[in-house]
Chains A and B, each alone.
Chain A
Amino acid sequence: MNLTLSAGQRAAAARFDELFGEDMRDDLRRMGNRELGAGAIAPLDEDETDVRQAVWQTFCELGGLRGLTVAEQVVVAEKVGAALYQSPWADTAVAIELAAAAGHDDLGARMTDGEAVAVAVRERTGDEPDRPGRLDLDGGVHAVRQFVAFAADVSWFLLAGVAAAGPRLLLVPGDHPGVTWRRHDDIGRGDFYEVTFRGVPVADVVELAAGAPAADAWAAALVTARIRHAAQLVGAAQAALDETVAYTRERRQFGQPVGSFQGPAFRMADLSTRVHAARLLTCYAAWLADEGDDARLAAYEALATAADLVRSAGTEAVQLHGAVGMTEEHDAQLFYRRAAVDALLWGRPTELRRAAAALLTEAVRRR
């Protein structure tokens, strides 16, 4: 029992101190911003794309995807979350794991070096990632996918789906002419797209897995994806809290700092306690995964807890900042809006708890 960060975790975090430090923060947090309502029609801004690519390359060169244990990945994920850095990182990590499981070490290495991947799993916008959408393999690959992150930037789509012959995990080249996309306009103003695969020849596609192995590999990949995502949300919640603490220490009303009143201060104390709890749950799930133990229940619980937390943190951040927290130049509203999407991205908390309940029930009955 030693619940302090390991040397490996500290080293992994330290590598990203500069990239995710104070100087870069404002730019990173707003990298995906678009004019409201413009998401679907605006062409990609080349300068923005260049910045995004440069940050991604730096992230990869710093080893953001290279040889990290899950416990090390979660400390990196916290930094990603605190910076509100939206990137293909989460999806690419999933693809690297699946490529390794399928024996495609060459592809995995290229992804580790920066060939970004976008997970394409939802057929309808309201779908859950546990249930990949339909896939038509008749005369090439046909599918429609929603909430595909960074579709315009990536080297590969990781297309998860269920064809007539069963589940498939496919890698489709990002620049294939048979793939088109349009950007969603979501509350978090993220880089999400609807992607249409229209008759991509099977010969142009890499099949990572098919049938039951594909379903198993996808389920396993979701476990680690959820642990990483939980950590990302913990990082975002911590950052929202930090911003709020800093602001309420400066902002004065009634002749004293707002943070000197117990009303706001106690709410921040509660939030800080919840951040701490969610962080430990996440680290615990990561440790189980690294040990090769069954991390499913811990992963569901960590993500559901972190998702509830990050929404509270965003809500509290805006409320405790006051009206200024709603203004566009302020970060509080960013945390609030991003939390709305990020809390659902790897599964609605209600669905995560439903899945957790099945495992918990099994465990109680076994005892």
Chain B
Amino acid sequence: MRFNFTEEQEEFRRQVREFLAEDRVRKVADAVRHLPPREEPGLLDVYRWLGEKRWLAVNWPPEYGGLGGTIVEKSILTEELIRAKVPDLVHIVSIDIVGLVLLLVGTEQQKRTYLPALAAGEQNWSVLYSEPGVGSDLAALRTRAEPDGDGWRLYGRKIYSLKSQFADFALCAARTTDSAVRFHGITLFVVPMRSPGVQIQPIWNMSDEQFCDVTLDGIRLTREHVIGEVDGGWQVINEVLPVERTGLEFQAKARRLLDEVLQRAARDGTLDDPAYQQRLVELHAAATAAHLMAWQVISDLRDGRLDGVTTARSKLYATELFKQISEFALEIGGLDATLSGWDAADNGGGRREAAHREGPGITLSAGTSEIMRYLIASTGLQLLS
């Protein structure tokens, strides 16, 4: 076992960190922090600057705008973005999820059409999976692509997606064929989000990021919009889902929040109070463990191994830990920590309040904690049968 990074990887991390400390980046991060209620960051200039350096999709082949690096460099970038408080969600959805799907099953034409703009930070995508009544049980989805000449027309409603209001395109799962085996007959499509048949309404929720309610009303799609095989979308979704579950960004967020709690506790003296120290050490140990679990998944991925159980454990552990830390951040901070960033007296403390509103979403997205436990129990322990 080797727990350190290579010289080159450490150097890459140094360079990224240096860039993220530049004034122009700090200005963007500050502006995001001071956004008024119900406004949220979309495509940021920082992404474009990262794209110019070919770092945004550093793990992609050079012809699509990357540097031909591995998922290790990609993960270093993600950790550093989170550490530097630069919003990472648009980036994660576009590069790590959609980009990966295109790389895995896209045609050469699709890769050349879509990937360079993503890698340049000039476009972003969202993912349209969940529907009213359809969450964890995704195969029950009702959005339909109805045959129309040499293509389809897409009808349905997708909810709880993130960042769709900024998206140029979306990856959308729809039923193309009714089948006795319900996992068969689902197809993944590229949906141009600026089409007239697409309507987006916000669903306000307790986090800073609105959910999108997307109505798809007869959008015309052709073979060129199909990602992977017609009727074969389920396999792709399942192949990509574990990659959303490395736990990497969740442990990085947990760690950032814990660091903030520790710094504050050092300033106000609670760090020296044995009554709080016990829990702080427990959380610090768990954050270290979450970091190791995520990096184990990342190094497995780099070596071509993808184990759905190891990823499920990592995702479960990191996200549940985030909620424990956010809860303790309020406990140790007292009522001060419940003040939002919009409170007149706010001195940067609003991040704890925002984190506590963010927590419930991360144990739900990319597979709920219960689905993770199901995977660990069934595939990992051979239970539940």
Question: Which residues of A line the B interface, CB within 8 A?
Answer: 1-6, 9, 71, 245, 248-249, 257, 259-260, 262, 264-266, 268-270, 272-273, 276-278, 280-281, 283-284, 287-288, 298, 300-302, 304-305, 350, 353-354, 356-357, 360-361, 364-365, 367
Interface of A (DSSP majority class): helix
Question: Which residues of B line the A interface, CB within 8 A?
Answer: 1-5, 9, 72, 262-263, 265-266, 271-272, 274, 277-278, 280-282, 284-286, 288-290, 292-293, 295-296, 298-300, 303, 310, 313, 316-317, 370, 372-374, 376-378, 380-385
Contact of A277 among B5, B280, B317 (CB under 8 A): B317
| A364/B285 contact (C-beta < 8 A), A1-B3, A260-B385 known | no
| A356/B281 contact (C-beta < 8 A), A5-B1, A245-B383 known | yes
Contact between chains at A304 and B1 (CB < 8 Å): no
Docked Cα-Cα span, A5 to B3, in Å, equals: 11
Docked Cα-Cα span, A260 to B383, in Å, equals: 6
Docked Cα-Cα span, A356 to B286, in Å, equals: 13
A288 surroundings in chain B (CB, below 8 A): 3
Contact between chains at B293 and A304 (CB < 8 Å): no
- A sample of 29 inter-chain contacts (CB < 8 A) reads A2-B1, A5-B1, A245-B382, A260-B384, A265-B381, A265-B383, A266-B370, A268-B381, A269-B316, A269-B373, A269-B381, A272-B313, A273-B317, A276-B310, A276-B317, A277-B286, A278-B289, A280-B289, A284-B3, A287-B3, A288-B3, A298-B288, A353-B277, A353-B282, A354-B274, A357-B277, A360-B262, A360-B284, A364-B263
B274 surroundings in chain A (CB, below 8 A): 354, 357
Q: Which 3 A-B pairs have the closest CB atoms?
A: A301-B285, A357-B277, A277-B289
CB distance from B48 to the nearest CB of A (A): 29
Contact between chains at B383 and A301 (CB < 8 Å): no
CB distance from B274 to the nearest CB of A (A): 7
Contact between chains at A305 and B289 (CB < 8 Å): yes
Contact between chains at A6 and B289 (CB < 8 Å): no
| A4/B1 contact (C-beta < 8 A), A266-B373, A305-B289, A361-B272 known | yes
Contact between chains at A9 and B281 (CB < 8 Å): no
Docked Cα-Cα span, A354 to B1, in Å, equals: 29
Docked Cα-Cα span, A325 to B253, in Å, equals: 41
Contact between chains at A3 and B299 (CB < 8 Å): yes
Docked Cα-Cα span, A280 to B292, in Å, equals: 6
- Which of B284, B298, B381 counts the most A-chain CB atoms under 10 A from its CB? B381
Contact between chains at A9 and B1 (CB < 8 Å): yes
CB distance from B121 to the nearest CB of A (A): 27
Contact between chains at A364 and B281 (CB < 8 Å): no
Docked Cα-Cα span, A272 to B295, in Å, equals: 18
Q: Using CB atoms, name the residue of chain B closest to A275.
A: B313
A5 surroundings in chain B (CB, below 8 A): 1
Contact of A265 among B280, B316, B372, B377 (CB under 8 A): B377
A264 surroundings in chain B (CB, below 8 A): 383
Contact between chains at B384 and A259 (CB < 8 Å): yes
Docked Cα-Cα span, A288 to B288, in Å, equals: 13
- Which of A265, A302, A365 counts the most B-chain CB atoms under 10 A from its CB? A265
Contact between chains at A249 and B288 (CB < 8 Å): no
Contact of B271 among A281, A284, A364 (CB under 8 A): A364
A270 surroundings in chain B (CB, below 8 A): 373
Contact of B376 among A269, A301, A354, A364 (CB under 8 A): A269
| A1/B72 contact (C-beta < 8 A), A268-B381, A280-B296, A284-B288 known | yes
Contact of A364 among B262, B300, B381 (CB under 8 A): B262
Q: Using CB atoms, name the residue of chain A closest to B309.
A: A272
Contact between chains at A281 and B382 (CB < 8 Å): no
Contact between chains at A301 and B288 (CB < 8 Å): yes
A265 surroundings in chain B (CB, below 8 A): 373, 377-378, 381, 383-384
Contact between chains at B281 and A249 (CB < 8 Å): no
B298 surroundings in chain A (CB, below 8 A): 1
B295 surroundings in chain A (CB, below 8 A): 1, 3
B303 surroundings in chain A (CB, below 8 A): 4
Docked Cα-Cα span, A266 to B370, in Å, equals: 8
CB distance from A366 to the nearest CB of B (A): 10
A272 surroundings in chain B (CB, below 8 A): 313, 376, 380-381
A305 surroundings in chain B (CB, below 8 A): 282, 285-286, 289
Q: Using CB atoms, name the residue of chain B closest to A308.
A: B282
| A281/B289 contact (C-beta < 8 A), A356-B281, A357-B281 known | yes
A298 surroundings in chain B (CB, below 8 A): 288
Q: Using CB atoms, name the residue of chain A closest to B72.
A: A1
| A268/B293 contact (C-beta < 8 A), A2-B299, A357-B277 known | no
Docked Cα-Cα span, A248 to B286, in Å, equals: 28
CB distance from B311 to the nearest CB of A (A): 12
B292 surroundings in chain A (CB, below 8 A): 3, 277, 280-281, 283-284
A262 surroundings in chain B (CB, below 8 A): 374, 377, 384
Contact between chains at B376 and A287 (CB < 8 Å): no
Docked Cα-Cα span, A184 to B380, in Å, equals: 41
Contact of B313 among A2, A273, A281 (CB under 8 A): A273
Q: Using CB atoms, name the residue of chain B closest to A301.
A: B285
A273 surroundings in chain B (CB, below 8 A): 313, 316-317, 376
B370 surroundings in chain A (CB, below 8 A): 266
Docked Cα-Cα span, A277 to B385, in Å, equals: 26
Contact between chains at A360 and B377 (CB < 8 Å): no
